[in-house]
Every structure is written in structure tokens, then in C-alpha cells.
Amino acid sequence: VPLNAQELRNCVYRGSLNSMLKPASEYGPWLEILRRKKPDIRLRDEELIIRFFAFDLKGIDSYRTPQKHWLNEAAKAGRKFSEQRITELFARWKETIDKCLIWFDAQECFRRDKSRAINKALFDLVTSSAKGVTEQKALHIRKKFRTAYSDLQGNDEFQDLIGRAVDHTRRTRRRFEIWQTQMSGII
């Protein structure tokens, strides 16, 4: 079986960030969102986690396709992170997932309406917002956040942007732009 991009990344970019992806993929609330009892053997869940850290560490302005090269750069940069930095990042991952679960039930988190599959575009957007607020604020803004999120469900352009070609550079930046406009004043 040929290795997928994350399996290759796991081999080539060994180091502190890569090593942290395994325990991050074993985080109970994350597994609940994924509807799994244990992490994915093909590391697809770890690729989502490295996406989170790439957007967190590099930002949307650095995003480019092909995405696998952008993710490789994030993994490469993380090879020599200090133990303290890794501890901080791991805590940020867990706190972000916990805040996402304030806004959504596990079965709907990062999913389009009536879908069982995780939507990578929604994952990127929701986690980017959740990492930027405290747990108290997440609780406080839950109703407004859900209303704004619901309004986006009726936005045809946004639905197209999260529905196809979700890794294209221009479409990714436009998706973040619409999201940030919709969530401004709330987050």
C-alpha cells in the first residue's frame, strides 16, 4: 500500500512536533468528534491536527498549494521545537477542541448539515476561531456564534467554498475572509 502524505510526513519530519501528533490524536474529546475509539491507523486524523498547527503557527497569509508542501514546511519547522513549546502547543490543541465542543455537539462538530464526514474547511475555520477565545468567552458567545454560523449555511458562496476545492489557495483565503466578516464583533 502506498504511503499517504501524512504517513510520509511522519517518516521524513521526525521531531518534537511530529511526536506530539500521536498523543494529540488520542485526546478523548477529539476521538469523540471523530466517532472513533482509537486514532486512525493511516494518520488521517494527524493530518487534520498538523493543519491546525500550520494555520496556528504560519497563518492564513502563508497558505499556498499544493497544500502538502505547506504542511511539510510546518512539520519541518516543528522538528526542533523545545519541550516547553510542545507542551504549550499540546495544551492549545486540547483547549481549542474543548472550546469547539462548547459551540457544537461532538456529532455535528466540523460537519456540514446532515453529514457524518469531517469537513476540513469547517475544521480550519472553527478551530481558528476557538483558539482565539477563552473558555469563558466561548460560553458567553455561544448563542451569537451559532446564529452567525447558521446564517452562513444560507450563504451559497460560502457553501461552495466549503464544499469543493477546499485546499485551493484563493478559495481558502476567500473562505476565511467570509468567515471573519461573519464572526466579526462576536469573536
Would you state the pLDDT for residue 1?
84
For 33-90, write each residue's pLDDT tens digit. Answer: 999 999 999 999 999 999 999 999 999 999 999 999 999 999 999 999 999 999 999 9
pLDDT over threshold 90, residue 165: no
Contacts of 141 (CB under 8 A, 6+ apart): 133, 186, 187
pTM score: 0.94
Mean pLDDT confidence for 88-105: 98
For 115-126, write each residue's pLDDT tens digit. Answer: 999 999 999 999
Would you state the pLDDT for residue 114?
86
Would you state the pLDDT for residue 58?
95
Q: Which of 100, 95, 143 is nearest to 118 (CA)?
A: 100
CA distances from 116 to 11, 34, 46, 55, 110 (A): 30, 9, 19, 24, 10
Counting other chains too, the contacts that 178-182 makes at CB distance below 8 Å and 24 or more residues apart are: 178/152, 179/125, 179/128, 179/129, 179/152, 182/148, 182/149, 182/151, 182/152, 182/155
C-alpha cell at 89: 502547543
